[in-house]
Structure 1
Amino acid sequence: FVFGYLSVVLFWIAKLVLLVFFLFVIIDYIVLYSKTGITAERILPERFSNGDENQVSINLTNRYSFKTDIRIIDELPVQFQRRDFELNTKLKPGEQQTTNYTLRPVERGEYTFNDLNIFASTALGFVIRRYKINAQHTVKVYPSFLSLRKFDLVASSNNLMEAGSRKIRKIGQSVEFEQIREYVTGDDIRTLNWKATARKGGQLMVNSYTDERSQQIYCVIDKGRVMKMPFNGMTLLDYAINSTLILSRVALLRQDKAGLLTFGDTIGQVLPADRRAGQMNNILETLYDQRTNFKESDFEKLYAQIRTRITQRSLIVLFTNFESLSGLQRQLPYIRAIARTHLVLVVFFENTGLKELISAEVNDIETLYIRT
């Protein structure tokens, strides 16, 4: 239109272009809004695994008779703090498509998904139609149950040994007879069963032993202020809970009894050691809603509780943390007292961030000041 002041021909050409533009916009609008062309559904797992990548699927269907450009904006739970989440795809006429993405929660609890927004446009791109789909749904985030699958193989290490995948070093002789099987390379020749070998016509047979079963394993989790320290988006308590879940799973698969005890300034939940079918689910539900506080943990109460409630000699795996050597020395008498009647394994966490800071090269005064 600016050049139309110089020439009448250019003015009429500009009017024609504008008319064609509005015509395409109207056509684009009619095509997109004439019917409901896009349907979508969000598919969520029953629960999320804390600290792991969890898959979310969006099923899309294009009911239009033309190729459609799709932009997806999913209203994610507030805990993720992602306001720029967007997915883009294209759908052919009548095509059904599943778009996947993953989310990694770093805290346990309830996560609420809100509406699902689908923006559809044609190849012209003059008009965009928004489909707002009511897809509100709440998902509970549990301790890292996805990690359990990675350790199921460890629990079945005896089967690996039978297949020839050797060799796992075992300390001690607390074993019991399991079965007689064929000899494989790497088996201890001291376990050869000559009578069974003779019956098999010369095929070497060995006695197979397994670790003594039905032993009690208790995971004890400190919920005091020292476990609130963050690392890689999660607290030390979350890492302790995930480790407890894995250890309990392996123990139950090996026919041992798994139990749980939590404590802070007071004693929390106590789950007696057992190996019944529902024990793993009981442990998972107990760990789901554990929280830290800003109070000092009472190891004296922990010792009294263990002495009262855990009468059979057990393996006590204590997940805790110490900010200083003096902090460890204050609690050491209680840990030693527990160790008189139980086998105690203390698991605490290394501050890798502080270690990297101390070992970093000093190039200026500011770095030296921070390091000091």
Structure 2
Amino acid sequence: MIKWQFRVDHMPFVKIIGSIYLSKNFFWALGILILAFVLGSMSPFVLGIARVLMALYVLIVIAESVQLYRVNDGIISARNAPARLSNGDENHIYILLKSDLPYDCRFELIDELPVQFQSRDKTFSGLLGSGTEKTIQYIIRPVDRGEYSFGNINIYISTLTHMIQRRYQSEAGEMVKVYPSIIQVKKYSFLAISDHLQDAGIKKIRKIGHNYEFDQIREFVTGDDVRSINWKATARSSQLMVNQYQDEKSQDVYTIINKGRVMQMPFEGLTLLDYAINSSLVMLNTAFAKDDHPGLITFNKEVAAMVPASKKKTQITTVLETLYNQETDFSEADYSKLTYWVRKKIKKRALIFLYTNFEGLVSLEREIEHLKTMARYQRLIVVLFKNVELDSLVNHQSEDLEDIYTKTIATKFQLEKQLIVKELNKHGIDTILTSPQDLTVNSINKYLEIKKRGLL
């Protein structure tokens, strides 16, 4: 908690020592002195004590001021922030404090956070020994993409009675960019490369049938499909040998993100659009790690951006920079233009994940023909969002007529979402109905299922 401080650096007589701050201890002592002099007016003995205390008070203030100003640049501080912050994730910030003072001191540190956080209470305090270093760590969670500007680092030190504080200010202003969830990308990228995606909740999909890309011939082990036995190799080696196949590679995988007004619903500080952007980046990075060709399209009333599918080494960086600037104008998405664009620009059959949302059957019926057209030429997966706040309403125990009415409406919306899924499935369009926090895991599960089972 920030101390109550009286800033004296605005007064003309302290322009030279504008870095001195008076703490609450100073005013407590001053209050006691005033009380002593008031009581001293009624008793010469008490007045004598008050004068002694006044002299002691002045000496302590002078001694403490001299102690604080014996060394110039006695405190050095620096902030270590990531070059890129990850939207929606916990990002660690480190502040290094170093003391060159010949004495121990008590410090109070205030870091000036970007205005987006609307926080002025990032305050830390403690003891700092002479000639020692201390690292302070805290966590921030941005919920908007864009540029974030950190301010200065303010350190207030005190010693002895802590009545006087000296301020050290480090010119640590810096601007950092908040990108889509880089932390999730690194996490899933490592798991994909090491083939341990199941550690993050990704299901292990059993292969059905064979893919056609031959990998190698190896010894037969229990559980192998007997139809994979290579009889010629078995005859040559006098032991059972099997053909091993690998997942098909070099397939185009696109994520298409609806930036319209239906994607502006908030959940835990982020909009559905931000969840879709974070998931899309992780999905495409996983596809890249699996030797597929990732691509990206964003749209609302027009197709806003497109990154053609490619296996270039810089592909994920290009996708990241494209997603960084994606915002919405709250317009209605035009699926007819999207369908035309997909038919025109995506020449071969691709796997497409369409991140969008339909809250009612009527809104789906307006767009179903366009979705059917895309599904006819591409492998289309429509990703829809659950309204998880409805779950609490449906599961809430009704206590009065108003609760019953609210619960009935919430149940109706939930059933309508299920009907939307059935309607899409009826036309041969796969769907993922997921809560925002499970979006990434469920999307990757679907991708791996299609890859393993060769359903493209």
Q: CA deviation at 1:194?
A: 6.2
- Determine the structure 1 residue equivalent to 2:248: 212
- Determine the structure 2 residue equivalent to 1:179: 216
Do residues 240 (structure 1) and 276 (structure 2) align?
yes
- Determine the structure 2 residue equivalent to 1:110: 147
- 1:1-372 equivalences under 5 Å are 1=36, 2-5=38-41, 7-35=43-71, 36-156=73-193, 168-181=205-218, 186-188=223-225, 190-192=227-229, 206-365=242-401, 367-368=403-404, 370-371=406-407
Counterpart of 2:154 in structure 1: which amino acid?
N
Counterpart of 1:121 in structure 2: which amino acid?
S
Counterpart of 2:362 in structure 1: which amino acid?
S
Q: CA deviation at 1:289?
A: 0.4
Structure with greater proportional helix content: 2
Counterpart of 1:77 in structure 2: which amino acid?
P
8 Å CA contact 1:67–1:123 kept in 2: the answer is no
Q: CA deviation at 1:154?
A: 4.6
Moved more, 321-330 or 13-22: 13-22
Q: CA deviation at 1:128?
A: 0.9
Unaligned runs of 5+ in 1: none
8 Å CA contact 1:111–1:140 kept in 2: the answer is yes
Q: CA deviation at 1:117?
A: 1.1
Query: Aligned to 1:84, what secondary structure does the other structure show?
Result: coil
Residue by residue, what CA displacement relative to the aligned partner does 1:131-173 show, whole Å, maximum 9, x if unpaired? 1222111101111011012212552465899xxxx96413453
Q: CA deviation at 1:11?
A: 2.7
- TM-score by length of structure 2 reads 0.75
Q: CA deviation at 1:178?
A: 1.8
Query: Aligned to 2:348, what secondary structure does the other structure show?
Result: coil
Q: Distance in 2 between matches of 1:41 and 1:199?
A: 68
Moved more, 264-273 or 33-42: 33-42
What value does the CA root-mean-square deviation take over the aligned residues? 2.5
Query: Aligned to 1:97, what secondary structure does the other structure show?
Result: strand
Query: Aligned to 2:183, what secondary structure does the other structure show?
Result: coil
Q: Distance in 1 between matches of 2:50 and 2:222?
A: 87
Unaligned runs of 5+ in 2: 1-35, 410-456
Identity of aligned residues (%): 45
Moved more, 131-140 or 10-19: 10-19
8 Å CA contact 1:75–1:115 kept in 2: the answer is yes
- TM-score by length of structure 1 reads 0.91
Residue by residue, what CA displacement relative to the aligned partner does 1:97-151 show, whole Å, maximum 9, x if unpaired? 2211111111101111112111111142111111122211110111101101221
8 Å CA contact 2:64–2:160 kept in 1: the answer is no
Moved more, 343-352 or 93-102: 93-102
User: Between Structure 1 and Structure 2, how many residues are aligned?
Assistant: 367
8 Å CA contact 2:145–2:177 kept in 1: the answer is yes
Q: CA deviation at 1:329?
A: 1.6
Q: CA deviation at 1:305?
A: 0.5
Q: Distance in 1 between matches of 2:90 and 2:186?
A: 14
**Compared CA separation, residues 121 and 205, structure 1 to 2 (3 A):** farther
Moved more, 150-159 or 301-310: 150-159
